[in-house]
Structure 1
Amino acid sequence: MSRLGLAIAVLVACTPALASSLTRTEAEQLASVSAPFAVTREHVTGDIYHYQFDLRAGSTPNARVRVHRVVRELSPWRPRPAPHAVMLLHGDFANFVTNFVPSLGNPASPAPGLAPYLVSRGIDVWGVDRRWTLPSADGDISDLGGMGVHQAIGDTAVALAFARATRTVTDRAPGRIVLGGFSHGAQLTYAYAAADGRHVSAIAALDIYYDIAPEDAELRALACANAAAGREALAQGVTDSSNSFFITAGQLARSAPEEPSPLFPSYTNRGVLLTLAGLTWWFAPYTPLYHLSAPSLDAEGHVTGLRESSEDRVSAWFASAPPHQSMRETADFDEIWCGTSPRPELAKIRVPLFYLGAAGGFGDHGLYSTTRVSSSDVTTLVIHRFGPERVAEDFGHGELLYAEDAPALAWGPLAAWLLAR
């Protein structure tokens, strides 16, 4: 165990103020940190480093809470103190690294990453991976069926408590921190803040809705149909919502872009990538013209290129996806949108909220959820390039993380808001 890890273990055991804010389960899981746990350190850029902690959280094959921290260092394992902190939750077919530090992904992305950007501006960045990101392609997934939103909320609470304990050691700052998330990570952010929220001082939701507006009845009907399909799959014993399609599409677009695609033989491998990224609404119409990346369209509506994020960045995002994903979590998220089962209610959220949307993603459809919280401190920003008549080509969902102009259009406003917390 590193010197930092040993200090954290001692602190967790000896800090009554922190311990008193934990549930029995959280306290038991944090107490396990006093035994040796896996910790790694790797260089990002300049004096910025990435730490990864694996905390055991049970006896099943993937019962770990994987916590990340990206910091500037004064010396090895000695973070530069920062008064502001945020924990970021990843989206689908991704983990913390591939969404927020993509230069460390496999394959490595040329995208600089939101986490290093925030760190360079004096913000301590944390993250936690959901358990379905942990097993390898041929790994043991016998516990995948239990990986739902309830478990993810509990793991998020443990990760936040661990981050607070660590910051007490390294930054002399034991206070609550901001919780933020991208895509379904933002939906989980809303759910955690509504269900628990004791560890967070504010929340930031990047391009998602939680409550669907009354005028978006068709989107709610889609969520209800998807939830029913997910529950039926689970009843039949299907627990893995595999990411192999995204991985294969990304890998082939990088290695043989002009070859015919084995996924869609009438397309080239590059064509599949462009279609998945630019016409995402064909298979995932979360909004009527939802897309991951802003497409350049010809007269017939075919994607000829990407406007905002390079093909290198997008293909790396797809190719670096974890091989597995939880069908139960997917069904749980759809049920939250459907609104037909018990769920944490947004009215319980009283901390400040920042909603950052992308016009071609969830965009304006995510604004309704911001009106449902009880907080009087709500800030919203939806990034538009064009008017509503060109939403099919506008700033896409993934552009918030991978676009060339993301630092100026998205990360700068987010950093300013975080620094004001």
Structure 2
Amino acid sequence: MRRTMGLWVTLALLLALRANPGDAHEAALQVDPWVRSLVSAGVAASSTKREALGGGLAHYTWKVRVGPDRYDAITVHRVVRESSPWVPARTRRAVFMVHGDLWGFVPAFLTRTSVTMMPEDRSLAAFLASEDVDVWGLDLRWVAVPEAETDFAFMADWTLGTHVKDVGTGLALADVVRRASGSGGNERMFLLGWSRGATIGYAYLDAESQRPRGQRRVDGFVPMDMVLRFAPEAKQQREWACQRYLLLQMDRDAGRTEGGLLGPGAGLPLRLLGMLAAQHPEQAPSPLLVPPSLATLPALTNRRLAIIAAGKTETLFEAFNLKALTPDYHLTATIPDAAGVPDKTAFTPEPLLFGYFQQAAPYQSLNEVVETEKQLCGLDVPYDDHLKDVKVPVLYVGAAGGVGSYGEYSLRLLGSTDVTRLIVRNRPEGQRALDVGHADLFLARDARVRVWQPMLQWLEAH
């Protein structure tokens, strides 16, 4: 059956490529050489996988080669309700999700951590699929780079533009598969990007806006908790971005190709921190390096250090003499002790957080981080020249303790007139240090009610 599914996907791609040259869809595929290479190589046929999720849902994956080097590959994901095993149900609405730093599609959107089977209301992708939305997404190239790798020269040419192209390949695959299975018709997809995935989403739409209408694949955009450019009044945050850009640019000029805001191999210590917090929570002092600003505290346990990393994420930036993206930026909200130090999580269960840390990808390419910081610094980049031509409906979802309202100015750079804003908050702006965090949008106990349900309503309305 798995082979049959793969052959069906490849046949769908071949039919799309051999369609009437005057067809708008054929024209779109003609400008995507990676789709043609996928078809000729038969990659989809040899690597289609299916995983039952329960509740009548399934998770499909395709390994797609997008270049000549060994790590030039992406994994395309699909989470969908099935009529029967290997037979996805027909749907009208579809969304394509792009993850951000550290976490690929599965930990970011399926919330699959140390728990084998997550209930439907604990995963954004499964929740939407259970409501008859066809959910697609991808793992960017660096997600699959193994922990044992030491030579990262292959990352030298990976840029935001590379990821934009890969998103286009994923969208093309989703498009032809949906058409072949009877879903979608002429319906386009929504594009959702979280964190740096939103930056990639903006760049994709910027490029797609220059194509004829019939060659576009996205008809709605959901940027989640990210800023593209800071508002003129956010001078301090722009200065912080410039500092990060200059430091990272120096590293790149020195020949480094791997790394992110928290240094080379940032996923490795985060994975270890999650493992120690889950398996040896009360071990003290923790064997991991404690940020300088925490050095005066009594010996920290593994559990406490993990909670601080999530709830006071800015301390991780301080270890590199940097400032975070926004003031008091954090991954998940926490409850502090009498001294004001995070003591326990506020909205996300601790076991889920610790499992989430363990799913971090070991490595990331440096170029896209440098380019993003350059853009945030206000300097010229090739990814936002046509934002005024982007006129699709937009839903911005912000976490008040993450990027939050800082991401709203970016919406004004678009040509869209149908713009909805959802800032998830529990406290006034002056208390953002304790408010809903960047990853609480997916991990919090009440995320389904406060984030996913309003998102579903917006998708249905558009």
- Please name the residue that 2:98 is paired with: 89
1:153 is aligned to 2:164: yes
Deviations 1:200-228, CA, capped at 9 Å, x for gaps: 01110111111211111111112122122
Q: Determine which of 346, 359, 363 is the counterpart of 1:324.
A: 363
Q: Is the 8 A contact 1:352 1:375 kept in 2?
A: yes
Deviations 1:138-196, CA, capped at 9 Å, x for gaps: 14644122222110000000100110000001234243200001111112111111122
Paired with 1:47 and 1:92, the residues of 2 have a C-alpha distance of 31
- Please name the residue that 1:7 is paired with: 8
Give the C-alpha shift of residue 324 in structure 1: 1.1
Give the C-alpha shift of residue 270 in structure 1: 1.0
Paired with 1:27 and 1:340, the residues of 2 have a C-alpha distance of 33
Give the C-alpha shift of residue 407 in structure 1: 0.2
Q: Is the 8 A contact 1:61 1:141 kept in 2?
A: no
Q: Is the 8 A contact 1:250 1:317 kept in 2?
A: yes
Paired with 1:329 and 1:263, the residues of 2 have a C-alpha distance of 28
Q: Is the 8 A contact 1:308 1:399 kept in 2?
A: yes
Q: Is the 8 A contact 2:109 2:123 kept in 1?
A: yes
- Please name the residue that 2:140 is paired with: 130
Give the C-alpha shift of residue 399 in structure 1: 0.6
Which 10-residue stretch deviates more, 386-395 or 79-88? 386-395
Aligned runs of 1:201-220 on 2, under 5 Å? 201-220=219-238
Q: Is the 8 A contact 2:238 2:376 kept in 1?
A: yes
Which 10-residue stretch deviates more, 151-160 or 231-240? 231-240
Paired with 2:369 and 2:406, the residues of 1 have a C-alpha distance of 20
Paired with 2:117 and 2:162, the residues of 1 have a C-alpha distance of 30
Q: Is the 8 A contact 1:108 1:316 kept in 2?
A: no
Paired with 1:389 and 1:158, the residues of 2 have a C-alpha distance of 42
Secondary structure, in 3 states, of the residue corresponding to 2:67? coil
Which 10-residue stretch deviates more, 226-235 or 1-10? 1-10
- Which runs of 5 or more structure 1 residues have no equivalent in the other structure? none
Q: Is the 8 A contact 1:208 1:357 kept in 2?
A: yes
Deviations 1:59-99, CA, capped at 9 Å, x for gaps: 20111121000011111110011100000111211000011
1:41 is aligned to 2:56: no
Matching residue's letter, 1:129: D
Aligned runs of 1:408-419 on 2, under 5 Å? 408-419=449-460
Aligned runs of 1:229-378 on 2, under 5 Å? 229-241=247-259, 242=265, 243-259=267-283, 260-264=285-289, 266-282=299-315, 283=317, 285-345=324-384, 346-378=387-419
Paired with 1:29 and 1:418, the residues of 2 have a C-alpha distance of 33
- Which runs of 5 or more structure 2 residues have no equivalent in the other structure? 210-215, 260-264, 291-298, 318-322
* Cα distance change on mapping 1:173 and 1:388 into 2, 3 Å: closer
Paired with 1:89 and 1:394, the residues of 2 have a C-alpha distance of 24
Give the C-alpha shift of residue 109 in structure 1: 8.2
- Please name the residue that 1:57 is paired with: 66
- Please name the residue that 2:174 is paired with: 163
Matching residue's letter, 2:165: G
Deviations 1:9-63, CA, capped at 9 Å, x for gaps: 1222222332311314244334336454311111212211100101111220111
Identity among equivalent positions (%) equals 32
Paired with 2:100 and 2:117, the residues of 1 have a C-alpha distance of 17
Q: Is the 8 A contact 1:109 1:312 kept in 2?
A: no
Paired with 1:326 and 1:342, the residues of 2 have a C-alpha distance of 18
Q: Is the 8 A contact 2:91 2:183 kept in 1?
A: no
Give the C-alpha shift of residue 398 in structure 1: 0.6
Give the C-alpha shift of residue 108 in structure 1: 5.0
Q: Is the 8 A contact 2:35 2:172 kept in 1?
A: no
- Please name the residue that 2:75 is paired with: 66
Paired with 1:109 and 1:248, the residues of 2 have a C-alpha distance of 23
Which 10-residue stretch deviates more, 227-236 or 126-135? 227-236
1:183 is aligned to 2:195: yes
Secondary structure, in 3 states, of the residue corresponding to 1:49? strand
Paired with 1:64 and 1:329, the residues of 2 have a C-alpha distance of 17
* Cα distance change on mapping 1:224 and 1:137 into 2, 3 Å: same
* Cα distance change on mapping 1:24 and 1:98 into 2, 3 Å: closer
Q: Is the 8 A contact 2:57 2:82 kept in 1?
A: yes
- Please name the residue that 1:21 is paired with: 28
Paired with 1:14 and 1:298, the residues of 2 have a C-alpha distance of 62
Q: Determine which of 418, 426, 431 is the counterpart of 1:390.
A: 431
Q: Is the 8 A contact 1:207 1:357 kept in 2?
A: yes
Paired with 1:390 and 1:221, the residues of 2 have a C-alpha distance of 22
Q: Is the 8 A contact 1:37 1:55 kept in 2?
A: no
Paired with 2:274 and 2:242, the residues of 1 have a C-alpha distance of 30
* Cα distance change on mapping 1:109 and 1:325 into 2, 3 Å: farther
Give the C-alpha shift of residue 258 in structure 1: 1.0
Paired with 2:336 and 2:148, the residues of 1 have a C-alpha distance of 39
- Please name the residue that 1:224 is paired with: 242
1:380 is aligned to 2:389: no
Instruction: Give the number of equivalent residue pairs.
Output: 420
Q: Is the 8 A contact 1:123 1:419 kept in 2?
A: no
